[in-house]
Chains A and B, each alone.
Chain A
Amino acid sequence: MKNNKATFSKYLVSGVAALALTAGMATGASAAENGKFRVGIVTFLSGAAAGPFGVPSANAAKVLVEALNKGELPAPYDKMGINGVEIEAVIIDEAGGATKQVEEYRNLVQRQKVDAVIGYVSSGDCLAIAPVAEELKTFTIAYDCGTPRLFADNADAQYMFRTGLDASVDNIGAVRYLAATRPDVTRLSGIQQNYSWGQDSWADFTAAAAKLLPESEIVEEQFPKIYQGQYGAEISALSVKRPEIVHSSFWGGDMEALVLQANARGLLEDATGLLTCGEASFATYKDQAPNGMIIGARGPFGAFAPDNALNTWFKGAYTAAYDLDPVYPATKMAQAILGLKFAAENAGVADKEIPTAEQLASGIKGATFESVSGTVEMARANGHQAMQGITYGEYHYEDDKASIVNKVSFSGECVTPPEGVSAAEWIAEGFPGAQCN
């Protein structure tokens, strides 16, 4: 047993190495507190959700942070940075699942010392982060994830906010659009990705259709797996049932593949496509999507955003930087950053002071702020969830130019369940208290 001594010295070596490593990390942490307003931005930079959602969002964040630091935004956001303090964005990748995101969230807050976090496209990540945000008492804005469970599971949230809309709004809005523009449709069908998002979307859509389009029936539903890419069999199964409407909550590459394949097979000529996330690929369809296909943007975002001074500025700045019009995830990111700026400047702290998480939370809770998408009321989930209207319209491509025609907007009260009522209950009861204009 003469190498036992060697074993011991090995442990010594590894112990010293570990100590050196932690010492290195500790110095990294202290360098983080530099007097700037540090914002953690978490969105997909790799994987299938990066192209359609993550990259436009990260680009929007960069454009906005740079412009805010120069004080270039129109009123009421013309003050430099956030409350006069320069902003520093720490952008990290959302890929890798909920366990890794919890780890990275803790790293952002405890190692990188960010003052607030904005992020999360995936609903699973949002649900995992919400309790941690409360535990670490860190002001956090979910900018895109759609799960209605976010505040249902975390009813007493103090630090978690969401400036984007709940996914049930998308599908209630979609049915209302059908009821307003095509009240005679009877044969509905759907194709969804087989995961939470697709399952929840279809459940809300079918429940709402049963109330608002009582004559209609569901003739076919298909649940291919996510990222499948080839939908030949599903398109055939849908075609033989002769639907009038094909609803889909597909997004990204899957959605583009579906539109391309369904259009080539003639399904979208016989039936009208209804894509709740359709606007995210608005610029890439060209002539491959049929005219008259109904698309949405999960709220008044992207191509559906109104022509106010903020949005005109944002579109100009984004287009100047990236040669593309901002799609809805970009608008939603801009909205979350403006929400944070509003929260800080409405928190009642002195100029050039960084508010605490409690002050930020009190600054935005239940408040109403102006954004690139119009006015946002934090009117649900005890003032933690934004309420806004939703707009749907038809894709129209003519003379090498894409546009949206036959837009119909529904107000927030028309598509959002009242406080304390879940979307499923509200739909089942026939939308009591809905105010539609």
Chain B
Amino acid sequence: MRFDKTEISLALVAIACVLFGFVSPGWLIFLLTIALAKALVVQGVVMQMRSGLVSFGQGLFYCIGGYTVGMGGQFFGIHDAIAALALGMAVAIVVAMILGLLLTRYRDIFFAMLSLAFSMILFGILVKSQGLGSTDGFNVHNWTVFGWAPETGADSQQTVFTMTVLAGLLIAVLIHRYTKAGIGVICEAVRENEVRVEYLGLSPRWLLYGNYVAAASVSALGGGLTALATGHVDPEMAYWTTSGEFIFIALLGGLGHVAAPFIAAIVFSVVRTYSIEFVPNTWQMILGFTLLGVIVFLPKGLWSLVSREKSGERT
């Protein structure tokens, strides 16, 4: 197996991140863990954006991932974090395989609204489930990794952070290969002209279906990691504002590169936490102006800052 430069750079950055985790303060590790976990969900959004579909309901799979990890520990005795994360992805894949049959018939705003609707249905069901704590949610704790139980505190925080970085690396490499491969390029062709793709003898619908299911599993992984890091899940994870946040981050980063969602998620978290600290009453306005600025000055997202010099050149 040959690795290209992007993959090697990603691996180096990931190693640097893990090492950085040993020397940085707890709050920063937590902020990065949540940002990277959310970036995985954003990767799911970006995967669909590449093929021309905007999912306004990616929170559905984020929530499924989180609740599977939580419920696995609470009710089914699955305390191994890796097994719980895998189970969350499996549940998301099954759900996406069913919903995808309907959703891939629709495009544009119809797809966006339908995906939003399904995520709000899950929100509604969870709010009605008093056994799961309704809107208050429940705690996620006592998880292990391969039988080893990290101590609460810095130890477990470090473990989740390392797991998140490694998961991020794995997913980033896979997505990078996917977008460079023929099938990934055809996803962009579907966005540009679906009819032509059909004339090439391919089925855009099944292409989008596969893409949708893959995006769902990546998002569920992000949700599961968030649940482990936060130690709490609540139905807010499936609420439309959460899905909106993922689109916000996707737009912030742009579709230019597989690393863009990770960078955008970190920038988003840093901007948000400092605006909450310095302007507690108007922090939403700072976030709004940031997005407005990016849309006006960097229509292709933050990634165009690094790729601007070679505009016009094909990568």
- CB of A8 within 8 A of CB of B230, answer no
B226 at the interface (CB under 8 A from A): yes
Nearest chain B CB to A324 CB, angstrom units: 18
Q: Which of B263, B276, B315 contacts A93 (CB 8 A)?
A: B276
- CB of A6 within 8 A of CB of B226, answer no
- CB of A92 within 8 A of CB of B277, answer yes
- Stretch among A96-104, A238-246, A254-262 lining the B interface: A96-104
A interface majority secondary structure = helix
On whether A124 and B137 interact (CB within 8 A), knowing A8-B9, A102-B232, the answer reads: yes
- CB of B136 within 8 A of CB of A124, answer yes
Note all chain B residues with C-beta closer than 8 A to A124. 135-137, 232, 234, 236
- CB of A22 within 8 A of CB of B28, answer yes
Give residues 1-51 of B contacting A (CB, 8 Å). 5-6, 9, 12-13, 16, 24-28, 30-31, 34
On whether A6 and B139 interact (CB within 8 A), knowing A102-B231, A195-B134, the answer reads: no
B130's closest neighbor in chain A, by CB? Answer: A199
Question: In the complex the two chains form, what is the Cα distance from A107 to B26 in whole Å?
Answer: 9
- CB of A128 within 8 A of CB of B232, answer yes
Which bucket holds chain B's interface residue count? 35 or more
Interface flags for B141-155 (1: CB within 8 Å of A; 0: not) read 100000000001100
Interface flags for A165-196 (1: CB within 8 Å of B; 0: not) read 00000000000000000000000000000111
Q: Which of B137, B231, B315 contacts A3 (CB 8 A)?
A: B315
B interface majority secondary structure = helix
- CB of A3 within 8 A of CB of B310, answer yes
On whether A110 and B236 interact (CB within 8 A), knowing A7-B9, A127-B136, the answer reads: no
- CB of A25 within 8 A of CB of B281, answer no
On whether A127 and B34 interact (CB within 8 A), knowing A10-B307, A29-B25, the answer reads: no
Question: In the complex the two chains form, what is the Cα distance from A14 to B137 in whole Å?
Answer: 38
- CB of B137 within 8 A of CB of A127, answer yes
Interface flags for A7-21 (1: CB within 8 Å of B; 0: not) read 110110111001001
Q: Which of B27, B34, B231, B310 contacts A128 (CB 8 A)?
A: B231
Q: Which of A1, A10, A99 contacts B34 (CB 8 A)?
A: A99
Question: In the complex the two chains form, what is the Cα distance from A112 to B9 in whole Å?
Answer: 34
Nearest chain B CB to A20 CB, angstrom units: 12
A149 at the interface (CB under 8 A from B): yes
Interface flags for B249-282 (1: CB within 8 Å of A; 0: not) read 0000000000000010010011001001100110
Question: In the complex the two chains form, what is the Cα distance from A112 to B26 in whole Å?
Answer: 12
B313 at the interface (CB under 8 A from A): yes
- CB of A107 within 8 A of CB of B273, answer yes
Note all chain B residues with C-beta closer than 8 A to A305. none
Chosen A-B contacts, 21 in total, with CB atoms closer than 8 Å, are A7-B9, A21-B270, A99-B232, A99-B237, A103-B30, A103-B230, A103-B269, A106-B31, A107-B273, A110-B25, A110-B26, A111-B25, A112-B277, A127-B137, A127-B138, A127-B232, A132-B231, A136-B26, A153-B138, A194-B127, A197-B135
Shortest Cβ-Cβ A-B pairs, 4 listed: A128-B232, A110-B27, A196-B134, A97-B236
